[in-house]
A and B are shown apart, each in its own frame.
Chain A
Amino acid sequence: MKGIKLTDVLKKYTMVIALILVLIFFYITTGGKILYAQNINNLISQNAYVFVLAAGMLLCILTGGNIDLACGSVVCFAGGLGAVMLDRDMNVWFAVIAMLVCGTIIGIWQGFWIAYFKVPPFIATLSGMYAFRGLSNVLLQGYTVGIRNTTFLNVFGGGADCYIPDFMGSANFNTTCMVIGIGIAAIYVIVVLRNRISAKANGYEVEALPSVIVKSVIICAVVIWLFYKLANYKGIPTSLIWIALVLLVYSYITTKTTMGRYLYAVGGNEKATVLSGIDSRKVYFFAYINMGLMAGLGGILTVARATQAQPTFGQGYEMDAIAACFIGGASAYGGEGNIFGVIIGAVLMGVINQGMSIMGTDANYQKVVKGLVLLFAIIFDVMSNKKKK
C-alpha cells in the first residue's frame, strides 16, 4: 500500500523532481553559481517572458493542442513599437497601452482566421511568424532602438533600479522583500486551511491532513527561501510582480470561470462541447486574443529587460513557451494542463537557459539542447498518456 503511494507521488511530481535534478546538475557544473542571489534574481528577470507567454500558450494548447508559432515575432513587433514610441518621447502609459493593444489586435487577426475560418492554427501562426518578423525589421529599420525612459524600465523590470524599494532595514538586506515573502507564505497557509474547512463543510472529499501539511511546509519553505535570496541581492524585481499577476489571473480563469472550463471542454471533446450548446469558435477566438495580449506584455517585459529593442528579439520564444507548457504536463492533444505545471515548466526552462549561459555554453548548442528538451517532454507526455489509457 505504502509502496504504491510512493510511486503515485513520484509520477505526479515527475517534473518537479526533474527540476530539482536539473538544478543539482547546474549547481555542480557551475560550482554553485546558479544559486547565488544575483543569479536567482536574473533568472526571474530574464525569463519573465517565458512565464507570461506560457500562460497564454497554455490556453491555446488546452483547446486541443493548438499553438501560436507567431508569438516570438509578435513580442518583437510589439516591443519594437513601444521602443520607437518611447524613443519619440511619447507618454509611457500611452506606449504601454499601445503595445498591449497591438498584441491584442494581432491576436484578434489570428484568432479570427483560426476560429471562424478553421484555418489550421500552425499555418495561420506560421504566416504571422514570418510576417511580423518582417514588419519588426521594417519598423525598427534594422537598427537597435534604445530605451532611456526610467519609469518604463523601473516598472517593467529593466535597468539597475527595477526592484521594489526597501522601506525599512539595512543596506545589504532588503527587509521589505523578506516581510513580503513571509506574508505570502502566511496567506498561502490561510487559503489552504480555509479551502480545506469549506470543502469539509460541504462534504467534499479532502486530502489527508499529513500530506496537506507536508505540501504546505515545502511550498512555504521554497517561497521563504526564494525571498530570502532575493532580499540578499536587491529585493523583488518588478518583473516578478507581473509574472505573479499573470499567473494568479490565469490560475483563476482556468480553474474558476466558465470560460476556463470551456477551454478544457473544447480540448477534451470538441464535438460533445458543441452539441451541448457551447460556441467552440468563441473559445478559440478567446484563446488566441488572449495569446496576443500576452505576447504584447511579453514584448513589454522583453524590451524593458534589454533596455532596447532589436529586430532579432523574440526568436525562439514560442519554443520556450511551448516547451514550458509541455514540461508542465499540458497535453499535446488538448484538454489537460494547469498553471502550476506551467510554473514548473517555465522555471525549468529558465534554469536551463540560465545554467547554460553561466556555463558559457555556445548559443548554437543552447538551441540544440532546447530542441531536445522539448522533444523529450512531449515524448514523456505522450508515453505516459498512452499508459493511462
Chain B
Amino acid sequence: MKNANVAEVLKKNAMLIVLVLVYIYFTARTGGQMFQPLNFNALITQNAYVYILATGMLVCMLTGGNIDLSCGSFVCFMGAVGGIMMVVKGWNPIVSILLMLVVGIVYGCLLGFLIAYVNVPPWIATLAGYLAFRGWGTKLLSANSTTGSIAPLPDSFLNTFSGKVFSTGVGKMNIPCLVAGIVACVIVFVASIMSRANKVKKGYEADSLLTVLARSVIASAAIMLFAYKLGLAGGIPTALIWVVVIVLIYSFVTSKTIMGRYFYTIGGNAEATRLSGIDTKMIMFVAYLNMAVLTVITSYVVMARFQSANSTAGTNYEMDAIAACVVGGVSAYGGSGKVLGMVIGATLIGVINLGMSLTGVDANWQKVVKGIVLLAAVVFDIVASKKNATR
C-alpha cells in the first residue's frame, strides 16, 4: 500500500522531479553558478515570454490539440508596430499600448473567425501568419530604421514591463521582495487549507491533512527560496508580476469558470459538446482571440527586455510555448492539462535554456535539444495516457 502510494506520487509529479533533477544537473555543471541570485533573476526575466505565451497556447491546446504557429512572428510584428508608434511617431506610450492591443484583437478575431467559423485547420491558418508576420515585421523595421531595430523606447514603457519593483542594489536584501514572498506563502497555506475544508464540508473526497500541509510546505519553501534569491538580486522583476497575474487569472478561468470547463469538454469530445447545446465555434473563437491578446502582452515584455523592437524578436517562441505546455502534461490531443503543469513545463524549458547558455552550449545544439525535448515530452504523454486508458 505504502509502496503503491510512493509510485503514484512519483508518477503524478514526474515533471516536477525531472525539473529538480535538471536543475541540479546544471547547477553541478556550472559549479553552482545556476544557483546565484542573478541567475534566478535571469530565469524569470529571460523566460517571462514562455509563461505568457504558453498560457494562451494551453487554452488553444485544450480545445483539441490546436496550436498557434504564428505567435512568435506576431511578437516580432507587434514589436515593429509598437516601435513605430512610440519611437518613430513619438506617440504617448499608453495610447500606443492600447492601440497595439487593438491590433492584436483584430488579428485574433480574424484568426478565430477563420479557424472557428470557416473551419480552416489551425496549423495552416497560423502557418500563413508565421510567414507573413515575420516578413511584414522585418519590412516595417527595416523601412523605419537603418539597423533593423527601433530604439530607444520611452522610459515609462520600459519601467512598466521590465526592470524591478522597489529596486535596491545587488547583494543587499530587498525587503519588499521578502515581504511579498512571505505574503504569498501565507496565501498558499490559507488557500489550500480552506479549499480542503470546503471539500470536506461538502462531502467530496479530499487529500489527507498531512498531504495538504506537506504540499504547502514544499510550495512555500520554493517561494521563499525564490523571494530570498530575487531579494538578493535587487528586487522583484516587473515581468514576474505580469507573469504571476496572468497565470493566476488563467488558473482561475480554466478551473473555476464555465468558459474554462467548455475548453476542456470541447477537447474531450467536440461532437458531444456541440450536441449538448454549447456553442463550440464560439469557444474556438475565444481561444484564438485570447491567444492573440496574450501574444501582444508578450510583445510588450519582450520589447521592454530587449529595450528595442527588432526583427529577430520572437524567433521560435511558438516552439517554446508548445513545448512548455506539452512538457507540463497538456495533452497533444486536447481535453487535459492544467495551468500549474504548464508553469512547471515552462520553468523546465527556462532552466534548460538558461543552463545551456551558462554552460556555453552552441545555439545550434540548443535547437536540437529543444526539438528532442518536445518530441520526448509528447511521446511520454502519449505512452502514459495509453497506459491509463488500458488499465
Residues of A within 8 A of B (CB): 65, 67, 69, 113, 117-120, 122-124, 126-135, 137-138, 142, 316, 319, 322, 326, 332-333, 362-368, 370-372, 374-375, 378-379, 382-383, 386
Query: A119 to chain B: which residues have CB within 8 Å?
Result: 332, 375, 378-379, 382
Chain B residues with Cβ under 8 A from A319's Cβ?
A: 127, 131
Chain B residues, Cβ within 8 Å of A383 = 118
* Cα–Cα, bound, A386→B119 (Å): 9
> Would you list 7 pairs from A and B whose C-beta atoms are within 8 A, ordered by A residue?
A120-B65, A120-B378, A138-B364, A368-B131, A371-B132, A374-B128, A382-B120
Asked if A374 and B127 make an inter-chain contact with CB atoms under 8 angstroms apart, the answer reads yes
Task: Indicate whether B169 reaches chain A with its CB closer than 8 angstroms.
Answer: no
How many residues of B are counted as interface, with CB atoms below 8 angstroms from the partner's CB atoms? 46
* Contact present for B372 and A131 (CB under 8 Å): yes
Do A371 and B120 touch (CB < 8 A)? Answer: no
Distance to closest chain B CB from A262 (angstroms): 22
Known pairs A120-B378, A131-B372, A368-B135; list 11 more (Cβ under 8 Å): A123-B332, A127-B372, A130-B374, A134-B367, A134-B368, A134-B371, A135-B368, A137-B363, A332-B120, A368-B131, A370-B132
Decide: B121 and A133 in contact? CB cutoff 8 A. Answer: no
Closest B residue to A376 by CB, please name it.
B128
CA distance A122 to B375 in the complex (A): 11
Question: Are the C-beta atoms of B367 and A322 separated by less than 8 Å?
Answer: no
CB pair A332 B121 closer than 8 Å:
yes
- A326 CB contacts on chain B under 8 angstroms: 124
Q: Which B-chain residue is minimally distant from A134 (CB atoms)?
A: B367
Q: How far is the CA of A138 from the CA of B364 in the complex (A)?
A: 6
* Contact call B375/A123, Cβ cutoff below 8 A: yes
**Contact between chains at B382 and A118 (CB < 8 Å):** yes
CB of B43 within 8 Å of the partner chain: no
Chief secondary structure at chain B's binding surface: helix
Is the contact region of chain A dominated by helix, strand, or loop, or is it mixed? Answer: helix
A110 CB, min distance to chain B CBs, angstroms: 9
Q: Is B241 an interface residue (CB 8 A)?
A: no
Known interface pairs A117-B379, A126-B319, A364-B135; A135-B364 also in contact (CB < 8 Å) = yes
Residues of chain A with a CB closer than 8 A to B136's CB:
364-365, 367-368
Distance in angstroms from A119 CB to nearest chain B CB is 5
Instruction: Report the bound CA distance from A132 to B120 in whole Å.
Output: 28
- A113 B379 Cβ-Cβ under 8 A: yes
Decide yes or no: A123 and B365 within 8 Å by CB, A367-B134, A368-B132 being known contacts.
Answer: no
Chain A, Cβ-Cβ closest to B362: A138
Smallest CB gap from A122: residue in B = B123
Question: Chain B, 305-338, contact with A by CB distance < 8 Å: what is the 0/1 string?
Answer: 0000000000010010010001000001100000
Chain A's closest residue to B123 (CB) is A122
The B344-380 residues at the A interface (CB cut-off 8 A) are: 362-368, 370-372, 374-375, 378-379
